[in-house]
Amino acid sequence: MELVINKVGLKGRIDIPSDKSISHRSIMFGAIAKGKTTIKNFLRGDDCLSTLKAFQDLGVKIEDDGQIITVHGTGFSGLKPSINAIDVGNSGTTIRLIMGILAGTTFTTELFGDHSIAKRPMNRVMGPINQMGAVCSGHDGTEFPPLTVTGTKSLLPINYQMPVASAQVKSAILFAALQAQGESVIIEKEKTRDHTEDMIRQFGGTIAVSGKEIRIKGPQKLIGQEVTVPGDISSAAFFLVAGSIIPDSEIVLNNVGLNPTRTGIIDVIKQMGGKLTIQETGNKENRAGTLTVETSELTGIEIGGEIIPRLIDELPIIALLATQAKGTTIIRDAEELKVKETNRIDAVANELNKMGATIEPTDDGMIIHGGTTLHGAHVTSYGDHRIGMMLQIAALLVKEGSVKLDKAEAISVSYPAFFDDLNKLY
């Protein structure tokens, strides 16, 4: 599709779509809890709908009246074998987290997804889950989907030092540990988003977190709750960057989730000199706020270490931000970008360089030379929603030529109304 180019003065207020990570987990926790869970502000994007359908396939009654999702939880023991293999679509969150839940069942489940999922490594989850006594295997003995998971009612607790900083891997182990016979200990490489830990407590479970060490005893029983999903800061990131780099702009974003394990993008914008203000509106259980961003003079910085898990999904749009800053920005310690919907290191460098940026990919990140002028090009999202949205924001800076985006439909995975919301700001 042809992208909108050469826009100045983005002004207005928009409601950011619901948090993708919390939407996924609200369905999962509702299913494995006993009793009714109601979910308000659920993200009806393709990925989260894949999670909803997966649990319907596992025998959970889930109703959607267009406003509220109602999950009639069965508890872990009430899950039933799916008649067919479960299709997770493009959702890495669905396939990785559900493996931990299936680990404690009494049956075998087959999981598959689209061509992108078929290329995403699963050993990082299969390894610890198999150590706990379930049997997870990939296609033809590989680590790639389709997968089969054969559960056991005798799951063993695990003492696991995580080799990668991954909230998905951690969450899968936590779901299994909730069903294990005894105490599991998980030690994170770096602190990652803690929605799963928060929701264990919200649904009546117990978990102890001290720094990077997590202790959880099983088996536990969870109770259905009311969940209100805040706006997704990963979706807000595209407009935070647009407001920072498009001339004469001021954008207000409502109800953005402010979980501290997710707010690295805010820290980066401020460190680069961005004009960003926060008015908190949520509470301890639902941390959220109104964000206002204005056009800013930015300076390149180095991004690495413990902040990376707090902004891993935002790195593609941060790379674009860095192309408009003075000086050089270095992103390091971000190897995880290679195993997202696509290799995001290569995808960002390839596509923005086509448009006139100067980005050098590295083994664990990229070197971005700022102050570049972008021009038109024929680009692709590679089927990755975050690459697609990043390229549309980049196109707003283009003054010469046009920008044609292949595979624009991928954006519906997390932000079906992205182009509509962008139009509100012209």
Q: What is the pLDDT of residue 364?
A: 94
- The first and second tokens of residue 344, run together, are 């995001």
Is 313 marked as binding a ligand? yes
Q: Enter the pTM of the model.
A: 0.86
Q: Tell me, yes or no, whether 184 and 314 share the same domain.
A: no
Residue 60 in this model has a pLDDT that exceeds 80: yes
Containing structural domain, residue 244: 11-18+230-423
Instruction: Given the residues 313, 333, 420, 421, select the one marked as catalytic.
Output: 313
Q: Give yes or no: residues 194 and 302 share one domain.
A: no
pLDDT higher than threshold 90 for residue 220: yes
Same domain, 138 and 261: no
DSSP symbols for 262-278: TTHHHHHHHHTT-EEEE
224 and 237 share a domain?
no
* 168 assigned binding-site residue: yes
Q: 220 and 316 share a domain?
A: no
**Residue 221 among known ligand-binding residues:** no
132 vs 139: which has the higher pLDDT:
132
- Number of neighbours of residue 421 by Cβ within 10 angstroms: 18
Query: 213 with 323, same domain?
Result: no
Is 315:265 a contact under the CB 8 Å cutoff? Answer: no
Task: Identify the band that residue 413 occupies on the pLDDT scale cut at 50, 70 and 90.
Answer: confident
- Could you report the per-residue pLDDT of 161-219, keeping only the tens digit for each? 999 999 999 999 999 999 999 999 999 999 999 999 999 999 999 999 999 999 999 99
Binding residue per annotation — 13? no
In a domain, 352, yes or no: yes
* 3-state SS track over 284-327: CCCCEEEEEEECCCCECCEECHHHHHHCHHHHHHHHHHHHCCEC
Residue 5 lies inside a defined structural domain of this protein: no
One domain for residues 69 and 90? yes
Inform me whether the pLDDT recorded for 155 exceeds 80: yes
Structure tokens at 116: 């992108």
321 Cβ contact partners less than 8 Å away, ≥ 6 residues apart: 241, 244, 245, 268, 269, 272, 298
Catalytic residue flag (residue 248): no
Predicted confidence at residue 342, as pLDDT, reads 85
Residues 360 and 409 in one domain: yes
Domain boundary among 228, 248, 280: 228
CATH value at residue 68 = 3.65.10.10
Residues 87 and 105 in one domain: yes
Q: Name every residue whose Cβ is closer than 8 Å to that of residue 157 and which is 6 or more positions away in sequence.
A: 132, 177, 180, 181, 182, 183, 184, 218
**One domain, residues 179 and 319:** no
Inter-axis angle of helices 167-177 and 92-102, nearest 10: 20
Cα 356 to chain center, whole Å? 28
> Do 198 and 289 share a domain, yes or no?
no
263 shares a domain with 402: yes
**Per-residue pLDDT tens for 240-261?**
999 999 999 999 999 899 999 9
Q: Say if residue 215 carries a ligand binding annotation.
A: no
Residue 1 lies in a domain: no
Domain final position from 173, 204, 228: 228
Q: How many distinct structural domains can be found in the chain?
A: 2
Tell me the β-bridge partners of 404. 2, 378
Question: Is 223 inside any structural domain?
Answer: yes
Report pLDDT digits (tens) over 337-380. Answer: 887 778 999 999 999 999 999 999 999 999 999 999 999 999 99
3-state secondary structure of 73: strand
The Cα 370–Cα 372 span in angstroms is 6
pLDDT recorded at residue 18: 93
